Every structure is written in structure tokens, then in C-alpha cells.
Amino acid sequence: MEVHNRYVSLKNHINEAPSESDLEIKTTTLSLEPKEGSGDVIVKNLYLSIDPYQVNRMKFYSSSQETSSFSQRLPLGQAIDANGVGEVVASDNAGYKKGDLVAALIGWEEYTNIHGGGGVFRKIESTEFPLSYHVGVLGLSGFTAYAGFQYVCKPKKGDKVFVSTASGSVGSMVGQYAKLAGCYTVGCAGSKKKVDLLKDKLGFDEAFNYRDEPDLKATVKRYFPDGIDIYFDNVGGEMLEAAVANMNVFGRIGVCGAISEYTDSTKRAAPDTLAIIYKRITIQGFLAADYLQSYSEFIKDTSNYLRQGEIHVLEDISLGLESLPSAFVGLFRGDNVGKKIVQVIHD
Ligand SMILES: NC(=O)c1ccc[n+]([C@@H]2O[C@H](COP(=O)([O-])OP(=O)(O)OC[C@H]3O[C@@H](n4cnc5c(N)ncnc54)[C@H](OP(=O)(O)O)[C@@H]3O)[C@@H](O)[C@H]2O)c1
């Protein structure tokens, strides 16, 4: 049996911010009968992860394209691989059977053939939590926050922690992990609504709208009169410079992302090197994938926090594959609050 399979593809490579017209929805056919001996797993996609890093794959050139297999430059016209959750509809793989729910590297499409089953990240054995959580809070976004904060930033009770894109998918989790670790926690975000959410719902000690602040170094100083011990950086650019200027000695900066630089090739952080030396600041870039051995510990801890109501989940779900281009482009306008997900609607 064959199905029509709609997918989102890149129409042309880009240099700066993406627009919806850079993406198009195309249709192909997909056989739902895996070849015998192939190990293939065919999945009906249910929830798709919408992530900023994809923009770097869409560019003519980005240094990220040279470093990891999953950040390679995207070919034009093909489905774009992405994380998500799906239901197995056919399998030639002993590890998976029809009806299994999986978190996997699938694609911005309605169905994916996971060749040899290698892209399956894990089976979702329990339906205790909504399936979408396995894309966000219990998926790679939550794990990025968990691993980056625990293993790169190495928090101690009482540390003073600063988080950028604090109402986003990763940032909202970092801030909540920081509060659970007994840290004084300040976040920045791009609107008053987001700032209120951080303080009123997520329990941040303080938050500010960086768009209202002409002098970021002075602003960060205002929120951290005694300096920052940990900066979890999602944006790069001037905010990284402002954080470095306000770090304490032996401060740690976990460089998770640099979204302000993704869409502006002229913007590159130039933090004060002397401050880094004399304050003995550790600045470490990381990829969540480096810490996958800790995934089960993350699931256990975060599931417990969820059960006890100690973590507030922020999800922003758009409906239907046709909503995907605008969902993706919206990340770079700050449209999303929390984890941006597209729910695929099947007839
Ligand atoms: N290292 C890793 O393994 C890893 C894994 C996942 C994600 N990341 C990185 O983590 C960061 C956050 O990702 P996410 O998935 O959680 O996205 P997100 O924060 O949920 O969404 C993106 C947010 O970035 C902010 N933003 C957009 N353009 C900006 C700009 N020019 N300057 C400052 N802020 C801007 C917007 O929030 P505001 O309205 O607050 O501006 C927007 O809502 C990204 O840099 C991403 O690449 C890294």
C-alpha cells in the first residue's frame, strides 16, 4: 500500500533570516511495506520539533555545517530531517512493531521511513504524559537544558544564574532547573508578556525585556549587583558581552546557542578577553548529543518534577503541516512561548 506523503522542503539556500517563501510543501508517495531484510521502520508522524538550528542548515554556508552530521547543509527539494514523535505503522525491524510510539529522527513530513531503524531514539513505553512532552520537556529540548545546566554550568546552591531566551523551550527549563537547584535566577526575554510569565508562573526571581534596554551591560549589572556565577547563553551577540562584563571570578558560561547571530551574519560577540582571563571565566560550548549517556537520568528526574508539579510546561503547538513554515519563521521573530511544535493532522 502507498500513501501520499506531504513534506516541507527548502526552496533556496539563504543568508540571513528565513521567510516562509524559502520553504514549500511538496507531495510524494511512500510505500507502507518495508523491504524484507531492510530493518526499516515506517512511522506516521504525530508531533514535529521546530528548532532554531535548522536555519544554519538552510544557509549557503555556516561553520556548523562542517562539524556535525546532523547540522549538514540541507539539499533543496527534499524532506528536512527533524526530531519528533510518531507511531509505527509498519516494521521490518525486530525492535519495533506496528502501534509502537517512538521518539525519533523523522522529518518535517507526514510519514517517515526510518531506514534500518537507526534513527529511532527511544520507544515511548508510557502514556503517563502527553505525547508532545517527548518532543519538548522530555525530549531533546528539555535534555539540552538539563545536560547543559548540570554538566557544563555545574550549579551550586546559592549560585547566581542568568538565562537568555528564558521563555523559550530550552531557556524555560534551564530557569526552572536553576530554581530547583537553589539558585538565584534571572531571565531575559523579548516581550512584557514573556517577562511576566517568567516571574509569575515559572518562579524566576527576576526577569527583564532586553528589547527595552539600550545598555545591556548596565541592565545586567542592575539585576546582578553581586555578579553572575553562571550564564546559560542561548543568544550570543551583545548579551554574551554583557554577561562576561558582569561575571564573577571562576564564573561558568554554557554556550548553548547564538540565535541573535544565526540571522545576522554581521553580528558576532566580542567579549572582553582580559575579563575572561583575569576573572578565570570558563566558556564552554556544548551539544546535548554529547551527554546522551545521561538521558535516562534526565527522564527519571524530570518525570518526577512533572509528577510533583515542580516544573511548569510551556508548549506552543501549531496544527497541520501547512502551519510549519510560519511556525519555523516565527522562532526568529520571538512568536513562540515555550517549545514550538507542529502537530501533524492525519485524515
Ligand atoms: N547546543 C545544543 O545542543 C542545543 C540544543 C537545542 C537548542 N540549542 C540552542 O538553544 C537556543 C534556544 O533554542 P530553543 O529551541 O529553546 O528556541 P526557543 O528559545 O524556544 O525559541 C527561539 C527564541 O529565541 C529568541 N530570539 C529569536 N531571535 C532572536 C534574536 N535575534 N536575539 C535574541 N533572541 C532571539 C526568541 O525569544 P525572545 O522573544 O525572548 O527574543 C524566540 O522565541 C537556540 O540558540 C538553539 O540553537 C542548542
The pLDDT tens digits for 173-218 are: 999 999 999 999 999 999 999 999 999 999 999 999 999 999 999 9
C-alpha cell at 226: 553581586
Say how far apart CA 312 and CA 257 lie, in whole Å. 22
pLDDT, position 292: 95
Which residue among 63, 170, 328 has the greatest number of ligand 1 atoms within 8 angstroms of its CB, and so is best to mutate?
A: 170
Pairwise CA distance, residues 296 & 279, whole Å? 35
Q: What atom of ligand 1 comes closest to residue 336's alpha carbon?
A: 43
How remote is the CA of residue 305 from the centroid of ligand 1, in Å?
23
Radius of gyration for the alpha carbons in the chain, expressed in angstroms and rounded: 20
Mean pLDDT computed over 54-82: 93
Give per-residue pLDDT as tens, 236-291: 999 999 999 999 999 999 999 999 999 998 899 999 999 999 999 999 999 999 99
Residue whose CA lies nearest to ligand 1 atom number 30? 260
Mutate to test the pocket of ligand 1, among 191, 259, 267 (most ligand atoms within 8 A of CB): 259
- What pLDDT is attached to residue 183? 98
**Percent of the chain whose pLDDT exceeds 90:** 96
Give dist(CA 268, CA 4) in Å, integer. Answer: 44
Query: How far is the centre of ligand 1, averaged over its atoms, from the C-alpha of 171 (Å)?
Result: 8
State which amino acid sits at residue 23.
Answer: L
- For residue 259, the ligand 1 atom closest to its alpha carbon is 45
pLDDT band at 69 (very low <50, low <70, confident <90, very high): confident
What does the pLDDT read at residue 70? 82
- pLDDT band at 328, cuts 50/70/90? very high
* Nearest C-alpha neighbor of 236 from the set 209, 204, 197, 262: 262
Residue 24 has pLDDT above 90, yes or no: yes
Residue range 46-73: mean pLDDT, rounded: 93
Query: Which residue ranges have their beta carbon within 6 Å of ligand 1?
Result: 51-53, 141, 144, 165, 167-171, 189-191, 194, 234-235, 256-260, 286-288, 331-332, 334, 336, 340
* Of 182, 180, 213, 183, nearest in space to 195 by CA: 213
pLDDT confidence of 67, banded at 50, 70, 90?
Answer: confident
Q: How far is the CA of 259 from the centre of ligand 1 (A)?
A: 5
pTM: 0.97
Considering only CA atoms, which residue is closest to atom 2 of ligand 1?
287
Distance CA 140, CA 148 (A): 11
Quote the percentage of the chain above a pLDDT of 70: 100
Pocket test for ligand 1, best of 165, 212, 231, 294 (most atoms within 8 A of CB): 165
Q: How far is the CA of 44 from the centre of ligand 1 (A)?
A: 28
Q: Please report the atom of ligand 1 found closest to the CA of residue 263.
A: 31
Supply the residue whose CA is at minimum distance from atom 8 of ligand 1: 257
Work out the average pLDDT over 143-161: 98
CA of 53 to the centre of ligand 1 (A): 9
Residue 234 CA to ligand 1 center (angstroms) comes to 6
Question: Domains of the chain (ranges plus CATH)?
Answer: 2-136+315-343 (3.90.180.10), 140-289 (3.40.50.720)
Q: Supply 242's cell numbers.
A: 554583557
* Grid coordinates of 253: 558560561
| Nearest atom, ligand 1, residue 239 CA | 33
DSSP state of 261: H
Q: How confident is the model at residue 347 (pLDDT cuts 50, 70, 90)?
A: confident
Residue 265 alpha carbon to ligand 1 centre in Å: 16
Q: How many angstroms separate the first and last alpha carbons of the chain?
A: 16
Tell me the backbone φ, ψ of residue 297, rounded to 5 degrees. -65, -40
Average pLDDT, the chain: 97
Supply φ then ψ for residue 182, to 5 degrees: 80, 30
